[in-house]
Amino acid sequence: MPPSAGGPTPDRDTYRTVAAAGVHEIEVRRSRFLCALAPVDSAEAAREVIAERRRAEPAARHHCHAFVLDPDGRTQRSSDDGEPAGTAGTPMLEVLRRRGLTGTVAVVSRHFGGVLLGAGGLIRAYGQAVADALDVVGTVEYRRLNLLRVSVDYGRAGRVEGELHSSKYRVTSTSYDDAARFEVGVRPDQVADFRAWLADLTGGSAAVEAGGEDWVRGKV
């Protein structure tokens, strides 16, 4: 499913996910709604979280869930787990989409309090359970970095290393063998600027090779 308005950004250089695993409870007309959130990187991991919540809350009547995966949010699943169709999993998923989240699973375990909520009441309760849990647990952004492998001779190594560490670029590894070698994380839109900056710093003597990519937590 392609990302839509309010969902994960089509910009595949960043994505946002839940900051950590956590559980938050709300009560609506004596029914208890326990929302568990967790960061996940696959459908299998999401299903493991769902199964764990079933084990943790065996007395709950329903364990409804929603999850969004992939940096562009293309994988989206939800389940009402016995609640009336469209009253639980769909509003839960919509909250994740509105917050622009991916790599996230939400499981709401409901302990029935004896009062029927009706379709509208269920939709509001399940959506609120996820929204309130997200407010408590928080979210975090991940950014894609291109990894560039830089090699320079020992005569320039000290200055290059110092300038790299004080720059906006992220040094991910350093090694010294026949030359000084640095692996540097650079935002995709800054690769050309980095190459120009490095060439100016080293008089064009540094060698640069592409070394793949990585996702880094926090703004870069």
Name the CATH topology of 143-217: Alpha-Beta Plaits (3.30.70)
- According to DSSP, the β-strands at 139-152 and 31-39 are unpaired
Distance separating alpha carbons of residues 30 and 28, to the nearest angstrom: 5
Q: Are 36 and 21 in contact (CB under 8 A)?
A: yes
According to CATH, what is the number of the domain 14-137? 3.30.230.30
| pLDDT tens readout for residues 99-143 | 999 999 999 999 998 888 999 999 999 999 999 999 999 999 999
Q: Where are the domains of the chain?
A: 14-137, 143-217
| pLDDT tens readout for residues 39-79 | 999 999 999 999 999 999 999 999 999 999 998 899 999 99
Task: Supply 197's token pair.
Answer: 């900056």
For the entire predicted model, the pTM comes to: 0.77
